[in-house]
Structure 1
Amino acid sequence: MNQGILGKMGMDSKMALGYLGVLIFMMGDGLELGWLSSYLTDNGLTVQQSALLFSVYGFAVAIAAWLSGVLAEVLGPRKAMMIGVTLFVLGTFVFLTIGIPTMNLAVMIPTYSLRGLGYPLFAYSFLVWITYYAPSDKLGTAVGWFWVAFAGGLNVLGAYYSSFALPILGEMKTLWSALIFVALGATIAILLNKEDNSSQKKFKTKADALKYIAKGITIAFEKPKVGLGGIVRTINTAGAYGFVVFLPAYMMEIGFTRTEWLQIYGALWSSNVIFNLIWGIVGDKLGWRNTIMWFGGIGCAVFTAGLYYVPSVMGPNYVATTVVAICFGACLAAYVPLSALIPSLAPENKGAAMSILNLGAGLSQFIGPVIVGAFIASVDTVGIIWIFTGLYLFSSFLMIFVSLPKHDNEVHTADPVELKAAQ
């Protein structure tokens, strides 16, 4: 009965525990996102030092995101995920026992970055596992469920948990409690989730394995459409990571309270979590590329501009601005089918293709704030909004060239809608 229900929802019962494990793990990883920076600056770090810490962390995330795809192929997803958990636990332990108590950047930067290496290896290796396991006609839905679990844990449940835990436990004990979620999520996703041996690629020698790791870069040139997909993925969440740097100050200048802005921001990500699944299902029906191009690129461009102009024109109108934020979060999720489309462009090297996509996901966390830092002084808030609006339009344009094969012998890799067009 349960298997039938899960099947109708696009989630195979053998992978369901993996999704749950990712959700719980990401709660542990994301519980400090909304407050750690301010806590560190209140306890000895300058704003510049805090920014440096998070910038290096973002770079570590990008590197690990890239490695996750090829390591999942070389070692198998399960082992790659275990490496991620180990790095996360080690980094957290030293960061909390030595780094924060001493406020010594020489300790804090490498240990917090070790955490940054850990979570992509865990989460994105599971995403590679999904791309091998899920049938092609349900792949968009399957990756949609992944992003529901990922974003739901990282951006929603982790934040809500902190809002309740901080008054009771305090900052340090709340940070330590992350290890409980990480351990529980890892146990469920790695040990209890059913093994699928077909997801593992065997390499006879170390040289073969190293050659495949290199393919995690070269495939972007061998198959330019994969490289374009990586660029689109970078643009996808660059805006969202950039917004947190300057939008709160702008919203409060308009007249919103801090609480109202946090509620608007929470509505954005809650919408994103819901639509991660919806767009996965829509993509399987309407076409992966069509969904990304029209609802993702064009939609994000429209509502990025809306996040500036609606409160600018209407003032601190809570309802109207919240609606725009919800729409932006929904359109941000419309890029979800990329995780189905890109590996389908390289069916013989899905792990390498996913490495490019995961690299884009990691780079967005680094590039979004960099764009703000580089241009905010010269172009002000409205200029930054138009830079991100232009980038979203550019991503939609790039998707014109990311088409799937329609040949009869490649029909199993094709986008559902493009399949029909080819027949």
Structure 2
Amino acid sequence: MNQGILGRIGMDSKMALGYIGVLFFMMGDGLEQGWLSPYLTSHGLTVEQSALLFSCYGFAVAIAAWLSGVLAEVLGPRKAMVIGLSMFVVGTLVFLIVGLPTMNLSVMIPTYALRGLGYPLFSYSFLVWLTYYSPAEKLGTAVGWFWFAFTGGLNVLGAYYSSFALPHLGEMKTLWSALIFVALGATIAIFLNKDDSNREKKFKSKQEAFLYLTKGITIAFERPKIGLGGIVRTINTAGAYGFVVFMPAYMMEIGFTRAEWLQIYGALWTSNIVFNLIFGIVGDKLGWRNTVMWFGGVGCAIFTAAFYYVPALLGPNYMASTLVAVCFGACLAGYVPLSALIPSLAPENRGAAMSILNMGAGLSTFLGPAIVGVFIGSTGTIGVIWIYTALYVVSAILMKFVNLPSSKEESQSTDLKAAL
């Protein structure tokens, strides 16, 4: 019975615990996202220094995200996830014990970056696991469930938990509590997940395994559509990750409280996790490329601009700003079909293809804050907003060139006509 219910919603029962584990792990990873930057600036750092910290963190995420795809094939998903867990725990311990109390950037940057190396190896290795396990006709829905769990933990439950925990625990204890969620998630996803089939790629020698690591870069040049997909994925969440650096201060200048901002931020990602599922299904029916192009690229461009202009024109109107955040979060989910489209362009090298996509996801955590650090001083908040808006338009244009082989295009075209 359970198998039938889970199957109808696109989730195999053997992988269900993995989704739950990712949700808890990412909740621990993301509980500080909506408030850490203003906390740092109120304790001695400048906005530019905070942006530097988040940019270095994002660069580490990008490296680990790239490695996750190929390491999942070389070592197997479980081992790659264990390595990610270890890095996250060590980085968190040193960051909290030494880095934050001293506000010493020379300690904070490498330890927060080590923390950043951990979560992609954990979560994106599970995503690679999914792309091999899930049948092609259900792949869009399967990755939609992954992004539902990933975003639900990282950006929704983490934000809402912080809004309630901070007044009672304070900032430091709230950060320490992250380790509880990470440990719980890792236990569920790594050790309790039921899929025990052997889907690991076998290599005859260390040299052969190393060569496959390089495939995670060279495939972007061998198959340019995959490289373009990586660029589009980089743009996808760049604006969202940049917002956490400067939007809290902007929204509080407008007149919102920190709790209201965290709730608006939480609403953004609550909408996103719902539409991760919706656009996973829509992408399977209406075409992966069209979904990314119109709902993702064009939609995000519109609501990125609205994120600035609605509060600027209406003031601290909680309902209006929340509505814009909900729409922006929904459009971010329009990029979900990329996780089905890109590995389908290289079915014999899904891990390498996913490495490019994962690296794009990681680079977005670098690019978003880096844009703030470079341009906030010269262009102000409005200039940064328009840079993000332009990037989303570019991503929509790039998707014109990221298409499946003709036979698969015809199959999706048939699905489109049937849906209409």
Q: TM-score, normalised by structure 1?
A: 0.92
State how far apart, in whole Å, the 2-side matches of 1:268 and 1:396 are: 21
> Mapping of 1:188-227 within 5 angstroms?
188-227=188-227
> Mapping of 1:158-173 within 5 angstroms?
158-173=158-173
Match in the other structure for 1:276: 276
Letter in 1 for 2:120: P
Match in the other structure for 1:241: 241
> Mapping of 1:324-363 within 5 angstroms?
324-363=324-363
Letter in 1 for 2:129: W
Aligned in 2, Cα 1:362/1:16: closer, same or farther, shift over 3 Å?
Answer: same
Q: Does the CA-based 8 Å contact 1:216-1:356 persist in structure 2?
A: yes
Letter in 1 for 2:359: L
Match in the other structure for 2:364: 364
Aligned in 2, Cα 1:262/1:338: closer, same or farther, shift over 3 Å?
Answer: same
Letter in 1 for 2:32: E
Q: Does the CA-based 8 Å contact 1:77-1:199 persist in structure 2?
A: no
Instruction: Determine which structure has greater relative contact order: mean sequence separation of CA pairs < 8 Å that are 6+ residues apart, divided by chain length.
Output: 2
State how far apart, in whole Å, the 2-side matches of 1:108 and 1:280 are: 37
Q: Does the CA-based 8 Å contact 1:284-1:415 persist in structure 2?
A: no
Cα deviation, residue 57, structure 1: 1.3
Match in the other structure for 1:115: 115
Offset from partner CA, 1:179-237 (integer Å, 9 cap, x none): 22111111110111123545311111011111010011000000000000000001111
3-state secondary structure, aligned to 1:170: helix
Cα deviation, residue 255, structure 1: 4.3
State how far apart, in whole Å, the 1-side matches of 2:274 and 2:251 are: 25
Structure 1 position 417 matched with structure 2 position 412? yes
State how far apart, in whole Å, the 1-side matches of 2:104 and 2:306 are: 41
Note the aligned Cα RMSD (angstroms): 2.3
Structure 1 position 15 matched with structure 2 position 10? no
Q: Does the CA-based 8 Å contact 1:238-1:368 persist in structure 2?
A: yes
Q: Does the CA-based 8 Å contact 2:299-2:331 persist in structure 1?
A: yes
State how far apart, in whole Å, the 2-side matches of 1:301 and 1:416 are: 30
Cα deviation, residue 44, structure 1: 5.2
Q: Does the CA-based 8 Å contact 1:22-1:189 persist in structure 2?
A: yes
Cα deviation, residue 296, structure 1: 0.7
Letter in 1 for 2:201: K
State how far apart, in whole Å, the 1-side matches of 2:129 and 2:34 are: 30
Letter in 2 for 1:218: T
Q: Does the CA-based 8 Å contact 1:283-1:337 persist in structure 2?
A: yes
State how far apart, in whole Å, the 2-side matches of 1:319 and 1:166 are: 23
3-state secondary structure, aligned to 2:201: coil
State how far apart, in whole Å, the 1-side matches of 2:96 and 2:314 are: 45
3-state secondary structure, aligned to 2:406: coil
State how far apart, in whole Å, the 1-side matches of 2:205 and 2:415 are: 42
Match in the other structure for 1:155: 155
Letter in 2 for 1:208: E
Aligned in 2, Cα 1:371/1:110: closer, same or farther, shift over 3 Å?
Answer: closer
Cα deviation, residue 266, structure 1: 2.0
Q: Does the CA-based 8 Å contact 1:287-1:415 persist in structure 2?
A: no
Point out where structure 2 has 5 or more consecutive residues left out of the alignment: none
Identity among equivalent pairs (%): 77
Match in the other structure for 2:80: 80
Match in the other structure for 1:177: 177
3-state secondary structure, aligned to 1:404: coil
